[in-house]
Chains A and B, each alone.
Chain A
Amino acid sequence: MNRISRRRFLKIAGFGAGAAAIAAGTSGRLGAMGRQPAAGETRVVPTYCDICFWKCNALAHVRDGRLWKITGHPDDPLSRGRLCPRGTGGVGAHFDPDRLRAPLMRRKARGGEEWVEVTWDEALGFVAERMQQIKAEHGPEAMALFSHGIGGTFLKHTLKAYGSPNIAAPSFAQCRGPRDVGFELTFGEGVGSPERTDIANARCLVLIGSHLGENMHNTQVQEFADAVATGAAIIVADPRFSIAASKARHYLPVKAGSDLALLLAWMNVLVTEGLYDRDYVEKHGFGFDHFSAEIASRTPEWAYPETGIAPETIRETARLMARHRPATLVHPGRRTTWYGDDAQRGRAIALLNALLGSWGRKGGFYYPSSMDVPDYPYPPYPASARGKVDNPGQRFPFASEAITTGIREATRTGEPYPVKGWMVYATNLIHALPNEAETLRAIERLDLMVVVDVIPSEIAGWADVVLPEATYLERYDEINVELFREPFVALRQPVVPPPHDQKPNWWIARELAFKLGLDAYYPWTDIEEYLDHRLKGAGLGLAELKQRGLVRGPPAPLYFEDGVPAEFATPSGKIEFYSTQLAAAGFDPVPRYKAPEPGPPGSFRLLFGRAPVHSFSRTQTNPILRDAMDENELWLNASVGARLGLASGEYVRLRNQDGVLSNRIRLRVTEAIRPECVYMVHGFGHTARGLRSAYGRGASDAQLITRYATDPLMGGTGANVNFVTLEPGA
């Protein structure tokens, strides 16, 4: 009973001046939460989350000077006051015993994970000296930065000031790039993050392999649950019976890799049965006649042998979509790098939405807005004579962001020019990029390899210098100027100090800039001055944001019917059913389906996805999230399991088509997956020795992704082209 009594005491202590002070700055709801302190025992600090990249606004609760818990900010349009399990478990990021504690320099060969602890001055001095050498010998473009998330803002600034344009994130070519390019080619703009999907108002929701509920992007999952509650018609096509599939009215167990055939057949039904939105297509469409001629042969009967979905089911679901249009949302997906024709599949999803008239309409895709927060007035960056290295000669003509694997290729080959230094911020490239061997061959060519991270990830093991970053709970970051349905500006601020010699990324980036002689690019004396300057430009201030966490802007029109102008940044100025850009570049102007190559006999296609309690490969040592899920499982079809004599709970190893053998992984033998494929959650099977609590737990899909199918439109690396066999008795 002791603990309960203590809490009761806190409760009594909790109604006082502190509560009033916080509540005064925001809505009454925040004040009603209780637990605001009077006597300094508990305090609440608003900030925004960094366990994934959704950036939900949160309230961090500190009890007796120690971080206690994190809850959703009640005024937050993203979390709507409720964080996802990762955000709730974010406390564990601060307490993670496997965290990097001090700057490290390698002692022996790269990859040996043998380190000496050094001072920040020594570590950054070494990095700056090597960077100056690289600039002198190869030019500033020979230094590249891989960076994921808003925390990379200041390192990007330092790299640009140094003179390098080579900055990339795996979120494009390894993740959402194909769907964004598909939508850009069709509507003239992408989908963004948070996706501009109006799930909340959709009457029919179509998910193509999107596993909302397992993929825990908070707002989308909440809106998905709303759609379930209000009885929206949900259609899920997936070779695996996902959580989302279990909520669907129609579950279509489509053969892995045949999604594009299904999409074409749906469009065929809408066109041949005259169910599409004729007015919308006539008003906004370009090249519809060419498109409908092309689609005419893609009947449900044509699609049946490809997809395994009965023609009548295809027709029934297409009619259901038509019945609810324009409030029918065919979700564009998130990680869409599957088979190498992914931008065309993204385009097919865009075109299906166009037929349903859902772009720019309620229940389809809304137009997001953001508040106007001017940039800090930095001096202009030096121009690069050589341009970017990742996409020479626009080999991938529709790549709209830098290609990580393009930088890796240039590093490995020295073409179009040498890359001699890598800085890697908050992205574990060993798990994020396909074909680890190519990554390691590129690293062999480097004169400098720096990793800035919170934990000693696999990629940190290959660094010359590892710089330990403070977690999001211990630092300021760039202001989040959110582009969303409800615009807002949000602050990340330190809740507790870093426990060891970790530093915030802005400090690291600035100190490095000073050592590089780039003082002119950091005219501000501390981060608070910088943040206040930016906020003042928007009529706000740091003091206000520190207290409130976020400030919401005025709502803007969301749909064409509200007055959003129906303008499309395509060559025709219309929604391009026929793409002249694609035709001119030698690609299919209307998407065409080609079945993906089958695997060797007796092998299974390796599919992977997300779990609601982990983010990529960066949370497996978080003690709270690890306790919720400490290893991944291999989903195997039940009849296949029976044939092979394998049962749930047994451990197996996987061998891929190139002979790579995985770590042991526990089987989940289940009806819930088709027989030609197996599935695992991404991010497990860690091999970095410093990740002690996650080391060797579960298997890594990334290790088995030795092959990838490159998207010729935009350079995405399709990863679902690897095949495995199972080796029992592991």
Chain B
Amino acid sequence: MARFGMVIDTRQCVGCMDCVVACKVENDVPDGFCRDWINQRLEGTMPDLRLTITSERCNHCDRPPCVSCCPTGASHVHEPGKVVLVDHGKCIGCKACLASCPYGARFIHPEGYADKCTFCIHRVEKGELPACVAVCPTHAMHFGDLDDPGSGLNRLLASRRHFVLKPDAGTQPRIFYLE
């Protein structure tokens, strides 16, 4: 069974927000909300500075607290791909998942349900890349199956130092950042 994930190369990323804009357009994300965003962390003092840019979104965790806390089963793990999705029809907008997510990845859509990144499953199931990955002008973003040992993702992870966001949260996130 596939286990979709992302590898994002922070060295290539220029923080241009193309991923954010492409997601908004592709998924009709309402004004004032976003399913992905850019974080910039600056360390050091002039001139010895280090900037780490991360394109962030739902981590589609292997141990997703948003799924275990959902009282209605709206938040669920979709197969194939183990993508964390929200069934809008079942969601009652109780915000338990918003509180449980260590990444702040979820928001309440104006229509009343919890919304977030879907890894563009509607595209992936057609053999296309998620919109953010497909648009990235610096080719910083990679998508694929983490369970496939020969996948591009695993080759990248084997060849470069990498990190995940908030490893201590115990969620086992599936978005990896190359240093």
Contacts and interface: CB of A to CB of B under 8 A. Distances in A.
Interface of A: 1-4, 7-8, 11, 14, 33-34, 68-72, 79, 82-85, 88-89, 91, 212-214, 216, 218, 221-222, 224-225, 228-229, 241, 243, 245-247, 251-253, 612-613, 623-625, 627-629, 637, 670-674
Contacts of A222: 137-139
B168 interface: no
A253 B44 CA distance: 14
A246 B18 contact: no
20 contacts: A2-B89, A3-B88, A8-B122, A68-B25, A85-B20, A88-B18, A88-B25, A218-B137, A222-B139, A241-B49, A243-B14, A253-B47, A612-B14, A627-B32, A627-B34, A628-B21, A629-B17, A671-B45, A671-B46, A673-B46
Nearest to B15: A243
Interface in B121-140: 121-122, 125-128, 134-140
A7 B12 CA distance: 31
A213 B16 contact: yes
A246 B89 contact: no
Interface centre among B42, B47, B127 (most CB of A within 10 A): B47
Main secondary structure of the interface of B (DSSP, over half): loop
Contacts of A247: 11, 14
A356 B150 CA distance: 43
A671 B25 contact: no
A324 B119 CA distance: 42
Given A85-B18, A253-B46, 6 more contacts: A89-B21, A216-B16, A218-B137, A222-B137, A637-B46, A671-B44
Interface in B14-54: 14-18, 20-22, 24-26, 28, 31-32, 34, 42, 44-47, 49-51, 53
Contact of B137 (A82, A671, A673): A82
B106 to A, nearest CB: 16
Nearest to B87: A1
A613 B19 CA distance: 11
B16 A84 contact: yes
Given A85-B18, A613-B16, A251 B49 contact: yes
Contacts of A212: 14
Given A1-B88, A670-B42, A228 B12 contact: yes
A88 B22 contact: yes
Contacts of B49: 241, 245-246, 251, 671-672
Contacts of B125: 8, 11
B12 to A, nearest CB: 5
Contacts of A70: 25
Nearest to B18: A85
Contacts of A245: 49
B14 A4 contact: no
Contacts of B127: 34
A4 B47 CA distance: 48
A237 B24 CA distance: 35
Nearest to B23: A88
**10 pairs of A and B residues whose beta carbons are closest in the complex:** A213-B14, A225-B138, A246-B51, A612-B16, A7-B122, A85-B18, A69-B25, A85-B21, A253-B47, A89-B21
Contacts of B121: 4
A83 B32 CA distance: 23
A691 B21 CA distance: 21
Contact of B46 (A224, A241, A246, A624): A241
B51 A241 contact: yes
A11 B25 contact: no
Given A84-B18, A213-B16, A672 B46 contact: yes
Contacts of A670: 42
Contact of B21 (A243, A246, A625): A625
Contacts of A625: 21
A670 B30 CA distance: 32
A224 B134 CA distance: 18
B14 A225 contact: yes
A715 B74 CA distance: 65
A89 B12 CA distance: 21
A626 to B, nearest CB: 9
Interface in B74-133: 87-89, 118, 121-122, 125-128
A72 B135 CA distance: 8
A624 B135 contact: no
Interface hub of A70, A72, A228 (most chain B Cβ within 10 A): A228
A551 B18 CA distance: 27
A221 B134 CA distance: 16
Contacts of A228: 11-12, 138
Nearest to A637: B46
Given A34-B126, A89-B21, A221-B14, A2 B46 contact: no
A85 B16 contact: yes
B89 A1 contact: yes
Given A85-B18, A89-B21, A225-B12, A34 B45 contact: no
B26 to A, nearest CB: 6
A113 B163 CA distance: 54
A627 B44 CA distance: 30
Contacts of B44: 671
Nearest to A14: B126
A339 to B, nearest CB: 22
B116 to A, nearest CB: 13
Contacts of B88: 1-3
Nearest to A12: B126
Contacts of B26: 69
Contacts of A33: 128
A623 B25 CA distance: 11
Contacts of A623: 31
Interface string B3-15: 0000000011011
Contact of B47 (A8, A84, A241): A241
Contacts of A89: 21, 24-25
Contacts of B34: 627
B14 A88 contact: no
Contact of A34 (B32, B42, B128): B128
Contacts of A252: 47
B17 A612 contact: yes
A90 to B, nearest CB: 9
Contact of A83 (B42, B118, B137, B140): B137
A79 B44 CA distance: 35
A459 B83 CA distance: 50
Contact of A4 (B25, B122, B134, B140): B122
Contacts of A68: 25
Contacts of A7: 122
B135 A82 contact: yes
Nearest to A629: B17
